[in-house]
């Protein structure tokens, strides 16, 4: 099986990101995003568009930072424990137990993308949900 690696270098708000896509015939492969001087973040979602992966990463990063600015370490650890070990949080997120996480996401969406979240746009909802899932997978440490 031959794998093909494609790399893009993107500038966003004076920061540089490297997006790598690994694909082969018959498999969607994987995407990763790396901000200069930061760890590589694997995007474990079914996304084929590398620039969509970057948008999701940027919103997830802003969301994670927003939560950490608002909540203390003990609260963040409790959120991560609940999300990992309690079945009732499989389809939702424990952040709602500690703050109005939807407001944090709206602010993250707007600050990361420079556009207002429009709940009538399915694309906005899908992007916010994917960013939330990515942040949750990475324990809100992006």
* Extents of the domains making up the chain: 4-137
Distance separating alpha carbons of residues 125 and 32, to the nearest angstrom: 22
Q: What's the pLDDT at 13?
A: 73
- Is residue 1 pLDDT above 70, yes or no? no
Instruction: Please report, for residues 50, 79, 110, 111, 134, the alpha-carbon distance to residue 47 in angstroms, rounded to integers and kept in the order given.
Output: 8, 26, 21, 22, 12
**pLDDT band (50, 70, 90) for residue 4:** low
pTM, to two decimals = 0.80
Distance separating alpha carbons of residues 81 and 77, to the nearest angstrom: 6
Distance separating alpha carbons of residues 125 and 117, to the nearest angstrom: 8
Mean pLDDT of 7-24: 74
Count Cβ atoms below 10 Å from residue 41 Cβ, excluding itself: 21
**Cα angle, residue 37 at apex, residues 34 and 41 outer, rounded to 5°:** 25
- Bridge partners (DSSP) of residue 27 are 24
Determine contact, residues 77/87, Cβ cutoff 8 Å: no
Tokens of 18: 């490297």
- Is residue 105 pLDDT above 80, yes or no? yes
The string of pLDDT tens digits covering residues 52-70 is 888 998 999 999 999 999 9
Closest CA to 135 of 43, 29, 37, 49: 43
């Amino acid at each position: 099986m031959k794998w093909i690696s494609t790399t893009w270098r993107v500038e966003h708000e004076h920061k540089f990101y490297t997006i790598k896509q690994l694909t082969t015939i018959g498999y969607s492969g994987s995407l990763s995003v790396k901000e200069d001087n930061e760890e590589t973040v694997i995007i474990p979602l079914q996304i084929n568009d590398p620039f969509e992966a970057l948008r999701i990463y940027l919103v997830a990063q802003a969301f994670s930072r927003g939560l950490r600015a608002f909540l203390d370490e003990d609260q963040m650890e409790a959120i991560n424990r609940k999300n990992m070990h309690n079945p009732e949080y499989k389809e939702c997120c424990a952040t709602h137990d500690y703050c109005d996480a939807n407001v944090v996401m709206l602010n993250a969406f707007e600050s990361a993308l420079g556009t207002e979240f429009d709940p009538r746009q399915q694309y906005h909802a899908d992007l916010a949900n994917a960013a939330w899932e990515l942040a949750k997978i990475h324990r809100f440490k992006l």
